[in-house]
Amino acid sequence: MRSKKKILITGADGFIGSHLTEELIRRGYDVRAFVMYNSFNSWGWLDHSPKEIKDNLEVFAGDIRDPYGVKIAMQDCDIVLHLAALIAIPYSYHSPETYVDTNIKGTLNIVQAARELGIQKVVHTSTSEVYGTARFVPITEEHPLQGQSPYSASKIGADQIAMSFYDSFDTPVSIIRPFNTYGPRQSARAVIPTIISQIAGGQRKIKLGSLHPTRDFNYVKDTVEGFISVAESDKSVGEVINIGSNYEISIGETVELISEVMSIDIEIQTDDIRLRPEKSEVERLWADNQKAKKLLGWEPSFGGRDGLKRGLIETVEWFTNPINLAGYKAEKYNI
């Protein structure tokens, strides 16, 4: 693929999107960043990017729910990496309609415009949450989809909309399905940042929800490589591809590993407000990543317990920087 293809990244102002935007610019791509319009003229995490990144970045401020703005943003682009979404599971219990508008209708706006404009490829972002509690492990792409929260249901809907345009109109769609990405800049509503930020903020009694569920954590650098691999491979069109470490660990064990990395003894307190409704909790996630390896040649650099520990060390280093930590409200629960 030519290094100067023009790529639109929706959700470029977010956690994964900002890392992906920066890496693509470093690799010489022509990048247009779609950020959420706001009166503060904030570009989200891209405001913190190095000057050499900002100097080579085109920014489009808009709203993924607006089909007209989406189509304008996509004009003259070769590839669209669609990450814009509402992702907080607790907030989806509170305001489910916003998840339908943003995640399902937003995705429809992307693939409809892609069809009309003749976009060369759309990479749509899914999530491991669409699988729900694992019925078998490791979880392959053929695992049943189970909407155990309004968030996961909206992402299942978005995935189906995206793939329906491939089946119906030959719109070149690929679906990337990352498992539990973590790393610098992640929202404190996610479990790893909430643990680290509480400890870094001086707390020794850490408030958490359920400790027994298992997850397959992926360091953000591996997730970014997954996106680039899917974008660059012709073999990914029409495919759903897991991006995961193929390593399962419980939340409780993850807390112990973070405590070890930070060399601080802590006490865990169960905070009822952080517990999901019983039937909504996803009890087990463990990725089968063989398809990504065979189809794309992608594999995690931060796999296994050793890789998770290395990723946590980098994450802790970022969060314990006082400038970065100041952006978080570690003492408050983040819905």
Q: Which residues of 211-241 are buried (b: 16+ CB within 10 A; e: fewer)?
A: eebbbbbbbbbbbbbbbbbbbebeebbebbb
Closest CA to 303 of 288, 316, 317: 288
151 is catalytic: yes
Q: ∠ CA 84-4-126 to the nearest 5 degrees?
A: 25
CA 278 to CA 124: how far, in whole Å? 30
Kindly report the number of other CB atoms within 10 A of residue 319's CB atom: 26
Task: Decide: 111 and 161 in contact? Cβ < 8 Å.
Answer: yes
Tell me the torsion sign for CA atoms 329, 330, 332, 335.
positive
The label of the residue with tokens 């973590």 reads 182
Distances (CA, A) of 89 to 124, 130, 190, 225, 259: 19, 12, 10, 25, 25
User: Which one from 99, 131, 151, 166 is the annotated catalytic residue?
Assistant: 151
**Alpha-carbon 112 to chain mean position:** 23
Q: Which residues are identified as catalytic?
A: 151
